[in-house]
Amino acid sequence: MSTETTNEKTIVLDQDGHLANREDWTEELAQDLADHEGVGELTDRHWDVINYIRDEYEKKGDAPSIRKLTKESGVSTKELYKLFPKGPAKKAAKVAGLPKPKGCI
């Protein structure tokens, strides 16, 4: 890759379309992933959600459910769907560089 094309990046995704290697994630990449997912420009509210689920993942090894997220992050379900349209649990995990939430059994 030449220095002229620093804006061009190639990253590896897993079978679910989530980032395959968590260490590839940067705040800058989050915006690229958001663009790719149709989430658009990341606002402070997006970052509240992203930071919260990254913290939870660190602690629990899984991204939180929507119910936990809305209860603990201060973002309502309605707002969450506005921020990450169509499936916020998965979309937010993708942008945050986390694997597909295991969810429930």
Contacts with another protein by CB under 8 A lie at 7-15, 17, 20, 29, 32-33, 35-36, 65-68, 71-72, 77-78, 81, 85-87, 102-105
Question: Residue 17 or 47: which CB sits closer to another protein?
Answer: 17
Least gap, CB of 64 to another protein (angstroms)? 9
The count of other CB atoms within 10 Å of the CB of residue 85 is 13
DSSP 4: G
Catalytic positions: 104
Least gap, CB of 43 to another protein (angstroms)? 19
Question: Residue 40 or 87: which CB sits closer to another protein?
Answer: 87
| Planar angle of CA 12, 26, 4, nearest 5 degrees | 75
| Planar angle of CA 80, 76, 60, nearest 5 degrees | 75
Pair of tokens at residue 51: 């930071």
Dihedral sign, Cα of residue 104, residue 86, residue 26, residue 15: positive
Question: Residue 50 or 83: which CB sits closer to another protein?
Answer: 83
What's the residue count for the chain? 105
Least gap, CB of 44 to another protein (angstroms)? 22
